[in-house]
Structure 1
């Protein structure tokens, strides 16, 4: 099995790889023999094969980064993400990364035998209940039309919709990418102790805290997400394609079947309408 999760001779592109889960994945990929290429707006704090500074909210910057990538890419880890309240959220969390992946394929830098793994979120769990809206957005063919669609659809420039879009994109591209010999998957992390989560600690790290306490398990850490991303992109997962994989210690599924009582999970999944009174909140 160890030979199957092996990145010797592989070039691994990590979008949003300077910190958090992306940094954990990039550093583990290098430890497994990979040549890492990191795209980020943040400064690097560790060594990698190539670092490219990029503003994912700006198409010209993303196109310049694509041109700067040296040589072919065997694995793309799309790890960039920002929280609600950040400008250009949808561009950063989804549109730019879709643009980059499709440009790499069109330009021949990502080809047969390659793989793509996104970081989505448990917050995107309800993508199937929003399928018509998600598919309407995904039908936008390019950066400008995607940006215009978000401007025209209230409430979609949001963290939750960005993750729903990722999940829908993974499902939609599983077959056409496979025809090109490329697999695509995502992970859906539960609360994970990253700098972004700490900046939104009450909401992000508070979610599921009682579940973790009752199960006597610690909060997940970036290395666990990095390991799962690299597994999905490795030969050990060669039969896995089009999957949005929960990595949340069982919290979501336990809640969906009432093995654990967390109604907010059902709200996220689209199984229950949000009722402020149920959560001790005023209308």
Structure 2
């Protein structure tokens, strides 16, 4: 396994693989890898001849007063996980490699980016779309792997790839959870012991919502109120949003009549966590 930091090194490696007729899988990450990332890497290794993992804490997707500087980083640990999983190249660029002096181009999307996390983090998805497009152009993979925990991001990337006619298959992978149900996230490391215990309220509340839908409830407001009520029973929890949206458009729906995303964002203490489930009719 190689750890490289320049665009040229990645392209040189991929060029050699292509000469051999090999397929390339790609997993873009911000590092501090956990079992959720590993599930994406394992899928990429299973489905491709060679795999590239990028580790880059992308500054353009963080807004003012967000956790860019404090975001957890551990390249040595990440490298070990990637090596053990069969990754061929880790790409760890510096900011100047991705955004050289004078950089002034961005990829912006309307519609899908304006609801859910887009409301709370207005610059976030512009930064995501820009950096992912750059990484796609650098790696030129056959397949790229994203987790369902960031379901809105997954929908946005799929639409961007379709809209821009990028010759890449975007593969969505299931949420990986702790034993008590908490979705795996690098930001879980911010939680104190008390906050960590409180954080299970997210998955427990979503489970209540899913049970209600499975029992025949189709009114979004009723399901949302059920989820909210349970979250609010936890004193350390503060709701950012609880919404039910169309799976393709990311727009709110009043009645569940086609596939939907039930998504929540909740602060546990100062840490913002997200979780969701998809319900398909």
The normalised TM-score by structure 1 is: 0.35
Higher helix share: 1
Higher strand share: 2
Larger Rg: 2
